[in-house]
Amino acid sequence: MTSRTPILTLTPGTVSLADLERVFRNECAVRLDAACRPAIERAHGRIAAAAAGDIAVYGVNTGFGKLASVKIAAEDTATLQRNLILSHCCGVGPAIPRAHARLMMVLKLLSLGRGASGVRLEVIDLLEAMLATGVTPVIPAQGSVGASGDLAPLSHMAAVMMGAAEAEFGGTVMSGAAALAAAGLTPIELGPKEGLALINGTQFSTAFGLAGLFGAWAAAQSALVTSALTTDAIMGSTAPLQPEIHALRGHRGQIEAGATLRALLEGSVIRESHREGDTRVQDPYCIRCQPQVVGAAMDVLRQAAQTLEIEANAATDNPLVLVGADLIVSGGNFHAEPVGFAADMIALAIAEIGAIAQRRIALIVDPVLSHDLPPFLTPNPGLNSGYMIAEVTTAALMSENKHLANPCVTDSTPTSANQEDHVSMAAHGARRLGQMLVNLERILGVELLCATQGVEFRAPLPTSVPLQRVMAKLRQTVPPLGDDRYTAPDIEAASALIISGEIARCSQIPMPELSA
C-alpha cells in the first residue's frame, strides 16, 4: 500500500453495496466514521466493569461454548483471550485471495463499529492500520461451519493482530509479528471479550457471499450481451422482446433484461433481413425466453444482495453489549443462516444463467437449428471440427455448476459437543460461488466466440452498432476461426473479457444495476 491508497470513510450500519464493492475491487483503506467511537467506548466500559465484577458473564470471565460454565479468574482474562485465538486457529486448505481477506477485515470493522461488541478503540485502530499499510492475514479457506461465527478463519486474522500466525506484507508471506513490525505496527494484547468479539461473526462467509454476488451480477450483464449476439447470429426474432409482454408480467428483472436486449439489437440489418418470409414461427426457449430466465436470475441476485447488505452492517458477535438497557446478553447473531440462504440463491442464479447460455451454444453450432450456419461454425466442416468440442466443454461446466448449486444451508451437522447443534454451512456455501463463477465466465466466453463467428458468417449483413463494438473488442485478441487451431487460449482470452466486464462496457448500452 502507498500514501496514494484511497481511504474510504464508512459509517457502520449504513454502508452500501457500492461501497463494499469498491473495497473489494480497489483495495481501499478504510476508516470508521469518528462519530461511532463514543458508542464503542461506552460498550467497552460496560465490559470492563463486568470483567472487574464477581458475576459470571459469558465470554468475559468464563470459558467458551460447552465450557461456558467454567469461571475464569480476573488475572487470567488476557490469557483466556489469547488461548481462545490460538486454539481456534484450526483452518486448513489454501489461503483465501487477498481481496477476500481484506473485505473480511472491513466487515469485522463495521460489526465492531456498531458499538455493541465491547472492544477498545485500540482494536479498531489496529485493524484500520493493517488495511492502510497492507498487512493481510493469511486465512486458510476451510474450517468454518458458519454457526458460532466463522471461528477458524477469523481466528487466523485475530492471531496476526496479536503478532502470531502468518500475514502477507509487500508481496511476501511472513510471521504476523514480522509483518506488523515491517509496517511499523505493534501487536495488541487482547482484553476481556475482545478475542471473542473478533472471531464471533459471519464476516468470512459474508465476504465470500459478496464476492460471489458482485461476480454473478457482472456475469449476468455479460450474458445479456452474448445472448443478443447469439440471437442475431441464428437470425432469431426480436418479437419476444416487445416491452408490453414483460410489463404484463411485471417482474423487474425480466422487464430490464428485455429492454437491454432490445437496445443491444436495435438497428441490426441482420434482424431486418428476415422479418418477412421467415418460415420459422417461434425460436427455441433459449432464445425466446432470455428475459424471463436471466431476468429472474437478476431478481434472485437482488434478493440475495439485500440480505448481504444488511448482514454487512450487522453486529454479529456474542455476547452483545446493550448499553441503553445496561445489559450484556448472549444471543445468536453469529449464526450465518441468512448468509447461507443468500449464497444458495446466488448459486442457483449462476447455474441458471450458465444453463441457458449453454443451450444457446448448442443451438448455434447445430446446422439444423442455427438457420443455415455452417456445422460447428467452421468454413470447412469435416476437415475441421470448429467449435464442436468447445460446446462439449461448456456442457461439462454447466453440469458441474448444476451439482455445485445444490443447497448447502440444509446440510447442518452438530458441532462442539452438541452445544452448536444446528449450523448454517454458509462458509463453504459462499466459497463454492468462486468456482461456479469461473465455470460460468468460461461458458459465456465460448458463447462470445461462437456468436461472433456466427454473426460474421452473415456478412455482408451487419449486426447492430453496439454488437459490432463487442465483436471488434474480441477480435483485438482472438482472430476468426478458419482452419482448426489450438483453441484453449482463445477460450481464455474470451473469458477474460467476460471476467473484466469489458464486453458489457464496450457495448455502450446501459446495463441493469444491482442496487435499486
- Nearest-10 crossing angle of helices 426-456, 388-404: 160
Q: 402: Cβ–Cβ under 8 A, 6 or more apart, which residues?
A: 351, 355
Q: Are 119 and 197 in contact (CB under 8 A)?
A: yes
The amino acid sitting at 390 is A
Bridging pattern class, strands 166-169 and 7-10: unpaired
Active site residue 58: yes
- Which cell numbers hold the place of 320? 452483545
Closest Cα to residue 242, out of 262, 256, 260, 217? Answer: 262
CA angle 439, 442, 444 (to 5 degrees): 110
CA angle 360, 365, 369 (to 5 degrees): 75
Q: Are 407 and 271 in contact (CB under 8 A)?
A: no
**Residue 18 half-sphere exposure toward CB, CA atoms < 13 A:** 4
Q: Which of 58, 285, 387, 486 is catalytic?
A: 58
Tell me 29's DSSP state. E
The amino acid sitting at 363 is L
Q: 252: Cβ–Cβ under 8 A, 6 or more apart, which residues?
A: 295, 298, 299, 302
The CA distance from 67 to 417, in Å, is 10
Residues identified as active-site: 58
